[in-house]
């Protein structure tokens, strides 16, 4: 067994245990493998171990991997999620190559993504990134501005609004982590109430805090280091 395969088993066990402890069905939470900074070989090992959904932060690096892995694994039902900041001049690459974008935090980018999504592809699946701590320099729409953004994005023809993503500041213990995630859960519940059943994805929790995120209602956790190992500092 490869290290990546063993790590995937460990993360799936963690998720199952977290679901059990939160009294949730194990199928209620899916795993996004965050492969940023790791090469196609590492992703191929994860695919061999049954993982099909991958998250990438850096657009060009992500697009290179999407193309390489789709070519080498034509039969695999791969799903690629953009989870990093998107500058305007990169939106076309995202619209043309990714299946999901979880890092939409302003209308201008959403409009570009909708305009640039190729007609032959299914709509781009979108989560809005929320800044739940209100940190000034962080990405993410502020909670007060979320309802208006969600309403506008839901109207864009080539996007499908699926839910929310958040990356809270690291917190020291389970309860304070959970309290931050619950802010996002409350926003998600309000959004579902407004926009209906298509809104089904609450993406929160990473290697260090996925238990607290599952306890707060996450439907997708995004794990990088727990699967692929520690990342080199990015140059
Ligand atoms: C890097 C990253 C992750 C994964 O973080 P780990 O701590 O390696 O699990 C998840 N989500 C986003 C948005 C990231 O940038």
Residue 187 lies in a domain: yes
* Residue nearest to ligand 1 atom 13, measured at CA: 83
Give the separation between CA 167 and CA 200, rounded to whole angstroms: 18
Question: Chain-wide mean pLDDT for the chain?
Answer: 96
Cβ within 8 Å of residue 135, ≥6 positions away: 169
| 32 CB near ligand 1 (under 6 Å) | no
In this prediction, residue 73 has a pLDDT band, given cuts at 50, 70 and 90, of: very high
Decide if pLDDT at 235 tops 60.
no
pLDDT of res. 84: 97
Average pLDDT rounded to a whole number, residues 150-172: 96
Residue to mutate (ligand 1; options 14, 34, 62, 229; most atoms within 8 A of CB): 34
Residue 140 lies in a domain: yes
Residue 235 lies in a domain: no
pLDDT by residue (tens digit) across 120-140? 999 999 999 999 987 766 899
pLDDT of res. 137: 63
Decide if pLDDT at 36 tops 90.
yes
Indicate which CATH number applies to the domain containing 63: 3.20.20.10
| 226 CB near ligand 1 (under 6 Å) | yes
Give the separation between CA 227 and CA 231, rounded to whole angstroms: 11
Residue 189 lies in a domain: yes
Percent of the chain surpassing pLDDT 90: 94
User: What does residue 26 show for φ and ψ, rounded to 5 degrees?
Assistant: -60, -25
| 116 CB near ligand 1 (under 6 Å) | no
pLDDT of res. 133: 87
Tally of helices (H runs) and strands (E runs) in the chain:
9, 8
132, 184 contact by CB (below 8 A): yes
pLDDT by residue (tens digit) across 185-234? 999 999 999 999 899 999 999 999 999 999 999 999 999 999 999 987 76
pLDDT of res. 211: 98
Q: How far is the CA of 165 from the centre of ligand 1 (A)?
A: 12
Q: How far is the CA of 206 from the centre of ligand 1 (A)?
A: 6
Residue 115 lies in a domain: yes
Q: How far is the CA of 8 from the centre of ligand 1 (A)?
A: 15
Rg of the chain over Cα atoms, rounded to whole angstroms, equals: 17
DSSP 51-67: --EEEESSHHHHHHHHH
Residue to mutate (ligand 1; options 15, 35, 83; most atoms within 8 A of CB): 83
Decide if pLDDT at 105 tops 60.
yes
Residue 233 lies in a domain: no
Tokens at 178, concatenated: 């959970």
Q: How far is the CA of 205 from the centre of ligand 1 (A)?
A: 9
**Overall number of domains in the chain:** 1
Q: Which of 156, 159, 163, 147 is nearest to 200 (CA)?
A: 163
Tokens at 39, concatenated: 């090469």
* Residue nearest to ligand 1 atom 1, measured at CA: 224
For ligand 1, what atom is nearest to the CA of residue 225? 8
Hey, which bits of the chain come out as E strands? Answer: 30-34, 53-56, 79-82, 100-104, 124-130, 159-166, 201-203, 220-223
Residue 234 lies in a domain: no
Kindly report the pTM of this predicted structure.
Answer: 0.97
Domain with 221, as residue range(s), is 3-228
97, 119 contact by CB (below 8 A): no
pLDDT of res. 1: 86
Look at residue 34 and give its three-state secondary structure: strand
Residue 217 lies in a domain: yes
pLDDT of res. 162: 98
Give the separation between CA 35 and CA 8, rounded to whole angstroms: 12
């Amino acid at each position: 067994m490869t290290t990546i395969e063993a790590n995937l088993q460990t993360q799936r066990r963690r998720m199952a245990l977290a679901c059990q402890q939160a009294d949730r069905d194990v199928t209620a939470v899916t795993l996004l493998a965050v492969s940023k900074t790791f090469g196609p070989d590492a992703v191929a090992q994860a695919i061999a171990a049954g993982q099909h959904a991958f998250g990438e932060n850096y657009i060009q690096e992500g697009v290179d991997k999407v193309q390489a892995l789709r070519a080498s694994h034509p039969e695999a039902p791969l799903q690629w999620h953009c989870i990093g900041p998107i500058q305007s001049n990169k939106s076309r690459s995202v619209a043309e190559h990714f299946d999901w974008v979880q890092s939409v935090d302003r209308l201008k980018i959403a409009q570009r993504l909708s305009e640039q999504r190729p007609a032959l592809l299914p709509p781009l699946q979108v989560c809005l990134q929320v800044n739940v701590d209100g940190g000034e320099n962080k990405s993410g729409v502020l909670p007060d501005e979320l309802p208006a953004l969600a309403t506008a994005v839901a109207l864009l023809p080539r996007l499908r609004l699926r839910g929310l993503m958040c990356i809270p500041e690291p917190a020291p213990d389970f309860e304070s982590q959970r309290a931050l995630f619950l802010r996002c859960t409350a926003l998600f519940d309000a959004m579902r109430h407004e926009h209906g059943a298509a809104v089904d994805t609450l993406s929160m929790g990473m290697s260090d805090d996925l238990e607290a995120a599952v306890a707060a209602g996450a439907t997708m956790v995004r794990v990088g280091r727990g699967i692929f190992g520690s990342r080199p500092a990015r140059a």
